[in-house]
Amino acid sequence: MTYDPGVRVLYSIGWLLATPLVVAYLLWRGRRQPEYRAHWAERFGLHPRRADRAPLIWIHAVSVGETRAAQPLVSALAAAYPQARILVTAMTPTGRETARELYAKPLGARFAQAYLPYDYAGAPRRFLRAWRPSIGLVMETELWPNLMAAAERERVPVALVNARLSARSLARGERTRALIAPAARRLAAVLAQSSEDAARIATLGREADAVTGNLKFDNAPKAPLLALGTGWRARIGRPVLVAASTRDGEEPLLWDAWRRALGAPGGEGAAPMRAQRVDGPGGGSPRPLLAIVPRHPQRFDEVARDVAAAGFSVARRAALDDPAFDWSGVDVLVGDSMGEMDAWYALAGCAIIGGSLKPFGSQNLIEACAAGCPVLVGPSTFNFAEAASQAVEAGAARSVADAGAAIETGLRLLADGEAARAMGEAGARFAATHRGATRRTLEALAPLLGRALGAPARTPREG
């Protein structure tokens, strides 16, 4: 058994003292997103004990991105181990809702979901005793000291899969090494996305068992959503630049740059939208449309209000369902929908990836590449550093310095169909080349899963 230094006791006391702040945070978030006011008992490890005795695979995906990344792995595990139920935990309401949308119907009664409790002393142990998982698979970077100690005591093997550790996260880990290193050593397996991630994880005291690639590459775009987005494009009849999964503070940078580039309402030199056209190959083309798709649903209304207050004519997602809607006078389309990102990429002539224009580390650019959409990324890409670098090298993406450069480059691509088409094709090839992480992850986990579940994986030949 691995013993922690006394710092974990101080860490647990810190959580206890922070309880008023935790409650205040949930109440504050609940004002904008009422779902934060639900399931509080689960946040503190108070879960009803499950009645069945089926083997249980527990997968923790902190929020939306990790939950979507887990989809091919969840599907593969469900097929390979039909005797097992699958519990998906999250830390955010949007992650929880995404899990329900993705897994409830295909898994049926085999699917369960809950919040992973905060890392109070005792809360993880109550969670594990209530659910009795046979094995835990934690996605990407979530590593909680009390949770790992409880898993060791309850003899629940936990593997870190699709593991990544940016240089920034490593610096934080180094500052809390006394907590993180013992937790890392308790992991039953570590499957890293890349050799660089494996090397950084090793500096915290736990060597990676395998480099399996990034599961996000295995999420192929959904044909019905691609068809939906293609239909939107025909309905709008104008080239569209999509700012995808934008984060707080990025939208004003984008619409200000859009105003400067095109003289949109509210700025000097503004011209009537219905009459204005832009030059492109072969003559004039309809004025481009900017679509902004915020990352978090609780910000949809706020972004729409702010765009309108800035002097733009705004449409929202619902307008795309109206065949009679007149798009000629719209400046900005706000994409206030969840689970339709493939459709937005099919609509786009080019996509600016949110989270990369301010220091958020970028959102998932792989989805856009897989959909054959030209990609622009800003300077902050630490969450997708390797994928961003490889995409640029493959000709699927271009790196830009700021929002102004993103808008300028995007407009040039909208006007240059041949260059945009070449980037889109390069993106599709890039995404296809890097698929296979799900297969490699299952192969690496097979011995651990076999011991935990008491049965070998079911192969297609057997089923």
CB 356 within 8 A of CB 379: yes
User: SS3 of 20, please?
Assistant: helix
Instruction: Measure the CA–CA gap between 156 and 136, rounded to whole angstroms.
Output: 7
Provide DSSP, 268-314: TT---TTT-EEEETTEEEEPPEEEEEESSGGGHHHHHHHHHHTT--E
CB 113 within 8 A of CB 57: no
In order of 218, 343, 347, the CA distances from 229 in angstroms are 21, 4, 5
Strand partners, 211: 192
Cβ burial 107-134 (10 Å sphere, 16+ → b, else e): beebbbbbbbbbbbbebbbbbbebbbbb
Cβ burial 297-307 (10 Å sphere, 16+ → b, else e): bbbbeebbebb
**Catalytic sites, residue numbers:** 66
Q: Residues for the chain: how many in total? A: 463
What radius of gyration do the chain's Cα atoms show? 23
Instruction: Measure the CA–CA gap between 446 and 444, rounded to whole angstroms.
Output: 6
Residue reference for tokens 């000629």: 328
H or E segment and range at residue 243:
strand 240-246
Instruction: Measure the CA–CA gap between 190 and 175, rounded to whole angstroms.
Output: 21
